[in-house]
Structure 1
Amino acid sequence: MGGLGGHRGHHHGHRGGRVGRFLEHGDLRFVVLALLSEQPRHGYELIKELEDRTGGAYRPSPGVIYPTLALLEDEGFIRPVTGEAGRKLYEATDEGRAALDANRAGVDAVFGRMAEAAEGADSTRPRIGRAMKNLGMALAQRLSRRPITPEEIDRIVAMIDDTAVAIEKT
């Protein structure tokens, strides 16, 4: 089956696994466009949504998502809008919605393959991995904001230790 853009090819996930069963060359831009037509989102939300829709089988890297967003913006299919805390959200334009409508059957087929993968996936490990990455990002953001006091360090360490104990008991 050719991609939505009429080309043949394959995308590879950042884990090195073949993602061709979901996406062929050109499919990702219309899948991203479809997600942005549902609601404005920023890059990280798109990554998370694609991971969720595949049950963790596919998580595109920022190095794939952000160039795709730039391409869609260059094509006039999406535009940036300012979201909460100044984060750049993207939304579909009328021209983008028209292009999406013209490729709807292909997009629906990709979403169908993603749903099938999610049904058969053991999403435990990807979900836990994502939660651990979220914790790491939260810590990095907190540590970069301003100097941290010894009391704040003690509270953070206690929260992490308490969580580790609670996990061991489950």
Structure 2
Amino acid sequence: MRFCNQDQSNQGARCGGERRFARHPDQEGGGHGMRGGGMHGPRHGRGGRMARLLEHGDLRLLVLHLINEKPRHGYEIIKAIEDLSGGAYAPSPGVIYPTLMMLDELGQVASAAEGSRKLFSITPEGKASLAEAQPAVDSLLARIAAAQPREMAPPVIRAMENLRTALRLKLENTDRASGTIRRIADLLDGTARQIEDL
């Protein structure tokens, strides 16, 4: 079996009359990335793993930190948090705007109307509160950075696609009662153990 560009192969479809595996990403036209709902699950889940990292009071500190960097609209704060989390978490407006209202009531931010939107700026009281909580802010930013989803390396993606294709082709043409099924399972179990031991 020869390699074939994955976009052409459709995970084992015929290419030029032969079934072929995915092309190595270093070869012409090969390789692809995974984002969003791929290996990492939904990018904008409101209660996902990234959201669970935020302890009580963390969102308030994070919003104050972002407004301290520069004045922002509510949408810009949502986008900034999404960027900080590597796309893993984007808080909903129903979470962000009540937080902004609370900061406004505490006198830590001030809002100015810009058409139909409000621009939020930090106040001296907000700067003082942020400075007092700086160790907690630094810890929060470090946790968010550490929890960002990691993209799998292209060679691993290619190998997984090749394994999926090989299994499908073999199982389609193998008697389920034969010893081949048991041998395949043993091979997969052994490979899994080797990967765990790396």
* TM-score class normalised by the smaller sequence: 0.5 to 0.7
Separation (CA, whole Å) in 2 of partners of 1:34 and 1:44: 15
What's 1:133 paired with? none
User: Post-superposition shift, 1:86?
Assistant: 5.3
Choose from 42, 47, 68 the match for 1:37.
Answer: 68
What's 2:128 paired with? 98
Superimposed CA distance per residue, residues 105-145 of structure 1 (whole angstroms, 9 cap, x where no aligned partner) = 101111111222336357xxxxxxxxxxxxxxxxxxxxxxx
Superimposed CA distance per residue, residues 44-72 of structure 1 (whole angstroms, 9 cap, x where no aligned partner) = 00000001100111110000000000000
Separation (CA, whole Å) in 2 of partners of 1:14 and 1:73: 27
Q: Does 1:65 align with 2:117?
A: no
Question: Does the aligned pair in 2 maintain the 1:55–1:121 contact within 8 Å?
Answer: no
Q: Does 1:46 align with 2:50?
A: no
Residue type of the alignment partner of 2:143: R
TM-score (norm 1): 0.58
Separation (CA, whole Å) in 1 of partners of 2:151 and 2:93: 23
User: Post-superposition shift, 1:22?
Assistant: 3.1
SS for the counterpart of 1:118 is coil
Q: How does 1:124-135 map to 2 (within 5 A)?
A: none
Separation (CA, whole Å) in 2 of partners of 1:94 and 1:107: 18
Superimposed CA distance per residue, residues 146-170 of structure 1 (whole angstroms, 9 cap, x where no aligned partner) = xxxxxxxxxxxxxxxxxxxxxxxxx
Q: Gaps (5+ residues) in structure 2?
A: 1-43, 153-198
User: Post-superposition shift, 1:20?
Assistant: 5.6
**Are residues 51 and 60 of structure 1, via their aligned partners in 2, closer, same or farther at CA, if it must alter by over 3 Å?**
same
Separation (CA, whole Å) in 1 of partners of 2:151 and 2:103: 30
Residue type of the alignment partner of 1:16: G
Residue type of the alignment partner of 1:72: L
- Give the structure with the larger helix fraction: 1
The percent of aligned pairs where both chains have the same amino acid is 50
Choose from 47, 51, 71 the match for 1:16.
Answer: 47
Separation (CA, whole Å) in 1 of partners of 2:151 and 2:79: 16
**Are residues 31 and 15 of structure 1, via their aligned partners in 2, closer, same or farther at CA, if it must alter by over 3 Å?**
closer
Structure 1 ranges of 4+ moved more than 4 A: none
Between Structure 1 and Structure 2, whose CA radius of gyration is higher? 2
TM-score (norm 2): 0.50
Q: Cα RMSD (Å) of the superposition?
A: 2.1
Separation (CA, whole Å) in 2 of partners of 1:121 and 1:79: 39
Separation (CA, whole Å) in 1 of partners of 2:60 and 2:118: 18
Q: Gaps (5+ residues) in structure 1?
A: 1-12, 123-170
Residue type of the alignment partner of 1:33: L
User: Post-superposition shift, 1:21?
Assistant: 5.3
